[in-house]
A and B are shown apart, each in its own frame.
Chain A
Amino acid sequence: MSAALEAKLGQAWKKPPFISNPVFRWALFIGTAVYIIAAFSGIEINLDRIARGWARGWEFIKAFTEPDFTSRWKDIYKGIYESIVMTVASTVVGIAISIPIALGAARNIAPLPIYLICRAIVAISRALNEIIVAIILVAILGFGPLAGFITLSFATIGFLAKLLAEDIENMNKVQAEAIKSTGASWSQWINYGVQPQVMPRLIGLSMYRLDINFRESAVLGLVGAGGIGGTLNTAFDRYEFDTVAAILIIIIVTVMFLEYLSGVIRARIQ
Chain B
Amino acid sequence: MPMSEKNGQKVWQVRTTNAQLIRWGAWLVGLAAFLYSWKEISDNTLWFMMDNVGEVVADIAGRATPPAWSFITELGRPVWDTLAIATLGTIFALIMAVPVAFLAARNTTPSRIFVRPIALLVIVSTRSVNSLIWALLLVSIVGPGVLAGLIAISIRSIGFCAKLLYEAIEEINVVQVEAIKATGASPMQVMVYGIVPQIMPAFAGIAVFRWDINIRESTVLGLVGAGGIGLALQSSLNVLAWPKVSLILLVILVAVVIGEWVSAKVRGAII
Q: Type the 1/0 row for A86-105, where 1 means its CB is closer than 8 Å to any CB of B.
A: 10110010000000000000
Q: Which of B37, B129, B219 gathers the greatest number of chain A CB atoms within 10 Å?
A: B37
Determine whether the beta carbon of B137 is less than 8 Å from that of A222: no
Q: Compute how far the CA of A223 lies from the CA of B233 in the bound complex, rounded to whole angstroms.
A: 13
In the complex, whether B87 has a CB less than 8 A from a CB of chain A is yes
Q: Which residue of B lies closest to A45 (CB)?
A: B147
Q: Compute how far the CA of A44 lies from the CA of B127 in the bound complex, rounded to whole angstroms.
A: 27
In the complex, whether A8 has a CB less than 8 A from a CB of chain B is no
Determine whether the beta carbon of B124 is less than 8 Å from that of A140: no
Interface of chain A residues 231 through 250 with chain B (CB within 8 A) = 232-233, 236, 239, 244, 248
Residues of A within 8 A of B219 (CB): 129, 132
In the complex, whether A35 has a CB less than 8 A from a CB of chain B is yes
Residues of A within 8 A of B49 (CB): 141-142
CB distance from A256 to the nearest CB of B (A): 6
**Stretch with Cβ within 8 A of B (4 or more), from A53-61, A65-73, A113-121:** A53-61
Chain B residues near A (Cβ < 8 Å): 30, 33-34, 36-38, 40-42, 44-46, 49-50, 53, 56-57, 60, 80-81, 83-84, 87-88, 91, 124-125, 127-130, 132-133, 136-137, 140-143, 145-147, 150, 193, 197, 200, 204, 216-217, 219-220, 223-224, 233, 237, 249, 252-253, 256-257, 260
Q: Which residue of A lies closest to B126 (CB)?
A: A252
In the complex, whether A74 has a CB less than 8 A from a CB of chain B is no
Residues of B within 8 A of A35 (CB): 87
Q: Which residue of B lies closest to A236 (CB)?
A: B136
CB distance from A119 to the nearest CB of B (A): 14
Q: How many residues of A contact B (CB 8 A)?
A: 60
Q: Compute how far the CA of A129 lies from the CA of B193 in the bound complex, rounded to whole angstroms.
A: 41
Determine whether the beta carbon of B150 is less than 8 Å from that of A43: yes
Determine whether the beta carbon of B237 is less than 8 Å from that of A129: no
In the complex, whether A79 has a CB less than 8 A from a CB of chain B is no
Chain A residues near B (Cβ < 8 Å): 15, 18, 35-36, 39-40, 42-46, 49-50, 53-54, 56-57, 60, 81-82, 84-86, 88-89, 92, 126-129, 131-132, 135, 139-142, 144-146, 149, 215-216, 218-219, 222-223, 226, 229, 232-233, 236, 239, 244, 248, 251-252, 255-256, 259
**Pick from B128, B130, B233: contact of A256, CB under 8 Å:** B128
Determine whether the beta carbon of A141 is less than 8 Å from that of B141: no
Given contacts A89-B37, A127-B253, contact A39 B83 (CB under 8 A): yes
Q: Which of B42, B80, B81, B130 gathers the greatest number of chain A CB atoms within 10 Å?
A: B130
